[in-house]
């Protein structure tokens, strides 16, 4: 049974639940989403923002009696409450306390009665109203502390296995995994205003997504401009990735716009590599991957002072195949600066670099995407991705043994403390030395939802303190490359 219904704001009534306005997210105030209409003033505010139509969920209607609320809550003074963080409550728990927030008049308003479930809908309403702290009665503080005690004990245990901050809450981890499994990051640079797309575009806020442009809706110039200006974190459903790729091949591949061409090289490359990971014996896909490497190589040669912008496109989270394109780009740049030519196997290096982490497709995705520090046993499992990657590709006749070198050696260290083989310095190929520097640099400088990215300077400073692990000549050259690109 469909419970979402579009109505005019003039038809809204107190007690209705607004899921979102029927307008572009750019013109929508955050408090207008997931809003339980509690007063006539809520309706007036929607009108003031120029919102004429909204979507409501008819199953979430709540009968609200404002007068009874005021009479009940007016008896409670400021000293009768204590403030607690909203995150202190776990979604799905039956809470032992009354939970309040302040209405527009500053009066405490009970949103949950003790014994009721702290549901996902309640959390959405609070987030939509930008509520981060709520109130509980001071005389229920003891009940609250008893409720929190086992949660805190669980958080301590979760810290021991690498989680922190909001990811101490298992539901947040589940939400993160669901996001990583079901959405594909994209860049707004490839689009042109006025187009109607065959897929819905979402904007990501933490692990939540909100429709930014519905399938078939016209992309306005103002909207596109704002996305690009703000470097919006845009995503599509993974099920729409094929349609997105088809759009790029038709509308962007032969564009004369340098920014679009740059974005196409990156986006096309990571989609092809991901496809190869799903079918590693495909010689056709391997040849397409080689073509991508050639495009990256030519771009670096043609634009030696600006190529770094390629790896900055929508670099919001540690997606394996985004990282792969970044590593290939910077490895080729470092190799070219070191005097390595196509005759020396430059594109073989690029091919191995772009495929260096393909073995991770054979490791548990929740482990690859874990939003926290790996335990020793988890880390050991991750190290198997090198051998797994080699096993995946060794049967493909379109890749040479030389091209396998970055894949096999990107975690080796000149100190002999690397993996999987613990090779000494004289056994590590130049391609392996290049890939080892670039792999860790890109991992450090990529923003993650649970960890801030290092600045290029701080990442290089950290690597310089492990000088026995990396080739000094190549590292020094790489520092110069980044300094020139960051100017």
DSSP string, 407-432: HHHTT--TTS--SSS---GGGS-HHH
State how far the Cα of 259 lies from the Cα of 292, in Å rounded to an integer.
17
Q: What is the pLDDT of residue 473?
A: 96
Q: Please, are residues 297 and 344 in contact by the beta-carbon 8 Å criterion?
A: no
CA distance 115 to 108: 19
The domain limits of the chain are 4-60, 66-160, 168-236, 252-486
**So what's the pLDDT on residue 193?**
95
End-to-end CA gap in the chain: 58
Confirm if 122 and 155 have CB atoms less than 8 A apart: no
Q: What is the 3-state secondary structure (H, E, C) of 203-228?
A: EEECCEEEEEECCCCECCHHHHHHHH
Tokens read off for 431: 């391609």
**In CATH, what number does 168-236 get?**
3.90.105
Question: What pLDDT, on a 0 to 100 scale, did the predictor assign at position 75?
Answer: 45
Q: Which residues pair with 7 in a beta bridge?
A: 54
CA 389 to each of CA 210, 278, 323, 356, 359: distance values in angstroms, whole numbers, following the listed order: 36, 12, 15, 7, 4
Q: What's the CATH architecture for 4-60?
A: Alpha-Beta Complex (3.90)
4-60 and 168-236, same CATH topology: yes
Give me the phi and psi of 429, to 5 degrees please. Answer: -65, 155
pLDDT means per 10 residues in the chain (487 residues)?
A: 77 81 54 70 73 81 53 55 91 88 78 81 67 91 93 87 83 88 92 95 87 95 93 93 95 89 90 94 95 92 74 61 92 95 93 96 91 88 96 95 97 94 96 96 81 83 88 95 77
The domain covering 252-486 belongs, at the CATH homologous superfamily level, to Hypothetical protein af1432 (1.10.3210.10)
pLDDT of residue 443: 87
- The pTM score is 0.70
- Contact at 8 Å (CB) between 315 and 326? yes
What's the pLDDT tens digit per position in 152-178?
998 888 888 888 877 888 888 888 889
pLDDT value of position 453 = 78
Lookup result for tokens 């809550």? 73
């Amino acid at each position: 049974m469909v419970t979402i219904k579009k109505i005019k704001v003039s038809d809204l009534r107190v007690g209705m639940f607004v899921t979102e306005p029927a307008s572009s997210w750019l013109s929508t105030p955050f408090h207008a989403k997931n809003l339980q209409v509690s007063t006539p003033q809520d309706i007036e505010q929607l009108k003031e923002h120029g919102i004429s139509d909204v979507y409501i969920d008819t199953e979430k209607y709540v009968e609200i009696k404002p007068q009874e609320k005021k009479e009940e809550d007016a008896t409670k003074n400021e000293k009768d409450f204590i403030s607690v963080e909203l995150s202190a409550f776990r979604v799905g728990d039956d809470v032992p306390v009354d939970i309040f927030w302040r209405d527009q008049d500053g009066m405490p308003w009970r949103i949950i009665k003790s014994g009721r479930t702290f549901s996902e809908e309640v959390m959405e309403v609070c987030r939509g109203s930008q509520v981060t702290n709520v109130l509980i009665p001071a005389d229920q503080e003891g009940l609250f502390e008893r409720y929190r005690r086992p949660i805190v004990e669980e958080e301590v245990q979760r810290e021991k296995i690498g989680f922190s901050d909001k990811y101490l809450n298992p539901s947040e981890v589940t939400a993160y995994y669901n996001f990583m499994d079901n959405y594909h990051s994209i860049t707004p640079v490839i689009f042109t205003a006025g187009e109607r797309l065959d897929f819905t575009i979402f904007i990501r806020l933490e692990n939540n997504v909100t429709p930014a442009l519905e399938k078939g809706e016209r992309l306005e110039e103002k909207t596109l401009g704002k996305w690009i200006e703000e470097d919006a974190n845009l995503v599509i459903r993974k099920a729409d990735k094929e349609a997105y790729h088809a759009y790029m091949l038709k509308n962007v591949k032969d564009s004369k716009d340098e920014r679009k061409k740059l974005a196409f090289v990156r986006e096309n490359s990571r989609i092809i590599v991901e496809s190869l990971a799903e079918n590693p014996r495909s010689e056709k896909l391997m040849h397409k991957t080689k073509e991508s490497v050639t495009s990256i190589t030519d771009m670096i040669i043609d634009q030696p002072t600006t190529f770094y912008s390629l790896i900055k496109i929508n670099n919001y989270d540690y997606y394996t195949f985004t990282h792969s394109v970044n590593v290939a780009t910077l490895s080729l740049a470092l190799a070219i600066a070191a005097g390595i030519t196509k005759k020396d196997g430059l594109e073989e290096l690029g091919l191995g670099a772009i495929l260096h982490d393909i073995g991770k497709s054979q490791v548990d995705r929740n482990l690859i995407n874990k939003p926290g520090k790996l335990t020793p046993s988890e880390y050991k499992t991750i190290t198997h991705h090198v051998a797994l990657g080699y096993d995946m590709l060794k049967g493909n006749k379109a890749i040479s043994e030389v091209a396998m070198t970055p894949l096999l050696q990107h975690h080796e260290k000149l100190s002999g403390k690397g993996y999987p083989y613990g090779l000494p310095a004289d056994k590590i190929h130049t391609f392996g030395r290049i890939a080892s520097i670039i792999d860790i640099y890109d991992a450090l400088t990529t923003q993650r939802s649970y960890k801030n990215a290092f600045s290029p300077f701080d990442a290089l400073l950290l690597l310089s303190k492990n000088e026995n692990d990396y080739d000094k000549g190549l590292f020094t050259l790489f520092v110069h490359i980044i300094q020139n690109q960051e100017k």
